[in-house]
Each structure stands twice: as structure tokens, then as C-alpha cells.
Amino acid sequence: MSAWITVVGIGEEGLASLNDKARHAVEAADVLVGGERHLAKVPEGDAERIDWRDGMEAAYDKISDRQDKKVVVLASGDPMSYGVGSTLSRRFGADALDVMPVPGAFSMAAARMGWSLAKSEQLTVHGRPLERVNYYLFPGARLLILAWDGTTPAKLARHLTDKGFGDSTVTVLEHLGGGQEDRIDAPARSWSVERTADLNTIAVEVVAGPDAQIWPRVPGLPEEAYEHDGKITKREVRAATVAALAPKPGEVLWDVGAGSGSVAIEWMRAEPLAEATAFEKDAEKCEAIERNAANLGVPALEVVQGTVPGALGLVGDEPNAVFVGGGIARGWVIDAAWKRLKTGGRLVANAVTVEAQSVLMDFHQSHGGELVRIAVAKSDAVGSMTGLRPLMEVLQLRVVKS
């Protein structure tokens, strides 16, 4: 099918920001689709207008009914950068789209700041938790952030200060590319503007204070990075576990018997384009998992409260990888997780008790894979000297579903 939806990126100057091809597409449209702000930039004409007020899905249904029309969807700047272009592509297919971008907010913000776009971290908190920023908080990092509204800069400045990054420079760029473009600069700790223009992009040059907690993205974070009850996969074992799970872009992990959520969290931190669901029966632990995920910059972690196998049925998509950390001694837990695992997916399970290890050995006997014994010893005082005190050994099962 040839393209029947034209997606036009439009800047603050409206039609004046478009080249001749894009302007002609807008002027010749039978149907114009977009938000109220974008539609207002186009003079009234004969074209039917569809906005987002009833939700994106309702608008997509209306678009689908108009395949015999010239449909033009208006979007901000580059429609494929956190814009409607990617969702349209998923819904109708890339072949149905002809995308015409103009410079987006990130490109213009990098130009105003004099930053290399390739060396800047680009993210959005529009419709997403502010805690997503935590993933990017490293000394010297340069962040370009799409805001939710005019209250976002003040909230972000307070958040940075609370996290020990109060000396970071926050720059708010309002109405980029338009006649009302303006700029506000201040250190996060002394930010005083409670509300800026709703249309703004934020640039942050990250400076870490002495009390800032900076966690690496590689697996094996220390236990103090988490809120937990002491029953947490130890960092050395966790690093080996995430390595065995081998996160890849777009893959989904199920962390069954998640406890503190540490394995699911470090799966997502290791691969930002991967997703995860943590299953935990205890309500208080579920709340702690959510706090841990937010604090470590992966608030998109899905948390499901319930017992296995019933809880697994609450999630539709089958996982690419499964980690079973709790309840292994009850053999049906690993069996239920294995049943839902995609063909070609990886299952990793850790056992400490004799009963749980027996279940893993039986599973290995019937399904194959690899058994690995992980022994860790840590330095500890022995009188006036130092010795290595062993932790409880862990039997790890690694198996691919063929």
C-alpha cells in the first residue's frame, strides 16, 4: 500500500516553518489531524478536522475510516522523536506514512546550548514519571528533557537538589523557534520560577555534590542501593544472574518472586530499551519495589502483586527471559514460569536451600541447560587480622527453551 497518511512536523512559526512540499500537503489535505495548538496554526478551510480530545485510539479509529482521503497529521518538530509518528507507524505500518519533519526540540535546544546532540542524553518526562531522570544523573552529563508543562522545571530543580545535584545548571528554553522564544538559566538549588511557559524544553548540565549518590549502570549494585528486608540477591550473584539473563533491546523479563525487585531493575538499567515485570505476593514488598525502581531511574518497571501461577495470567505478553528467585522449593512456580516463557527464551533460577536446589536439579534433568554453583567469600575481621568469610552458596540453573 502506498502512503496515505502524511505526518507533518510543524514548528512554532506554523506554516512558515514548513518547506513547499509540506505546506502543499497541509493545504491539499481532506482531513487534518492534530492537537488544538497545532490545528490552530492552520487557517480554517474545507478540510475535516480531528483532534485528540477523545483520546489517541479514538482518533486513530477515525483515521482508519478515511483511507480514501488525503489525511495529514500535524505534530511537533520531528514526529519520530517522542512524537506521534512512531505510534502511527505501529498502528498503520511504516508504508502507510510519509513523514516530513522539521528541526525538533532536541536539535534546537542543542543548537542554543552549543552542545553536541550525539553526546547529550535525550529524554522526556511528558506523560512519564520525573524519576526517569535519575537514570541519567552522572557528573558532567548533559540532559535535554521534554517537559510535561510549565511546572516541570521547578519540580525538576527541587528533585535534583534533593538528590544531591543542586549545583547543576538548569536552562529552560521556552517556545523554541517561535517569536516568543525565551531562556531562563539558574542553578537547581536556587531555582525560583514556579511556572514557566507550558511549551518548554529543559537543558541540564549535571554537577554532583558531595552527598550525591551515583550508581553505575552495570549489574551488581551494592545492597544499600535498595530498600529491602535482608532477603536480597547479593550483588555478586545478581551480576552473574543478569549476565545469564542477557538483556537485549525490546526484550521482556519476568522476575518471579521479585522481593526487592533488584534483578528486574538491573535488567532495565543494563538495557534501557528492555522491559520487565516483577511478580511479588507481598503488598509491602511491591510498594518497596516501586520505590526502588523510581529511585534507580526505571519507574516504568511493572509490578504485579499476587501468587504464582495466577499472577502470571494477569500479564498478556509472554517473556523473552524469566528469573525465578523466590518460591523455587514449590516446584510449580518454576513450572508455571517455564510454561509462559517464549520459545528460544532464557530461564535463570537461583536456589540456596537444599529443597530448592533439589527442584533445580530435577528441572535440569528433564529440561537440560546448565547448573552453576556460585560461591562468594567476603573479607571479615578474625581477631586482629582479616579472613574471608563464605556466604551461602547459590546453585544457579540456566536453560534455553527450545
Residue closest to 264 by CA, chosen among 287, 285, 283, 238: 238
Instruction: Compute CA 64 distance to the chain's CA centroid, rounded to the nearest angstrom.
Output: 29
Instruction: Compute CA 271 distance to the chain's CA centroid, rounded to the nearest angstrom.
Output: 10
Residue-wise pLDDT tens digits, 16-44: 999 999 999 999 999 999 999 999 999 99
What is the residue whose three cell numbers read 516504568? 300
pLDDT at 51: 94
Q: Which residues contact 363 (CB under 8 A, 6 or more apart)?
A: 331, 334, 338, 349, 397, 399
What grid cell was written down for 159?
Answer: 528533585
CA separation for the pair 340, 382 (Å, rounded): 48
Helix ranges restricted to H, 41-194: 56-64, 84-92, 105-113, 152-162
Residue-wise pLDDT tens digits, 202-235: 999 999 999 999 999 999 999 999 999 888 889 9
Q: Please count the other Cβ atoms lying within 10 Å of the Cβ belonging to residue 172.
A: 25
pLDDT at 299: 97
pLDDT at 330: 86
How big is the CA angle at 231 (ends 226 and 235), to the nearest 5 degrees? Answer: 55
What grid cell was written down for 219?
Answer: 549489574
**Segments of the chain scoring below 50 in pLDDT:** none
pTM of the model: 0.91
pLDDT at 1: 56
pLDDT at 201: 98
Element (H, E) at 305: strand 302-305
How big is the CA angle at 8 (ends 7 and 12), to the nearest 5 degrees? Answer: 145
Which one-letter amino acid corresponds to residue 201? T
Q: Which residues contact 36 (CB under 8 A, 6 or more apart)?
A: 51, 53
Sequence length of the chain is 402
CA separation for the pair 258, 281 (Å, rounded): 9
pLDDT at 329: 86
Q: Quick check: helix, strand or coil at residue 304?
A: strand
Residue closest to 198 by CA, chosen among 261, 126, 150, 257: 150
| Radius of gyration of the CA atoms of the chain, in A | 25
Handedness of CA 319, 321, 326, 331 (dihedral sign): positive
CA separation for the pair 257, 373 (Å, rounded): 21
Question: Which domains can be identified in the chain, with CATH numbers?
Answer: 5-102 (3.40.1010.10), 106-205 (3.30.950.10), 223-400 (3.40.50.150)
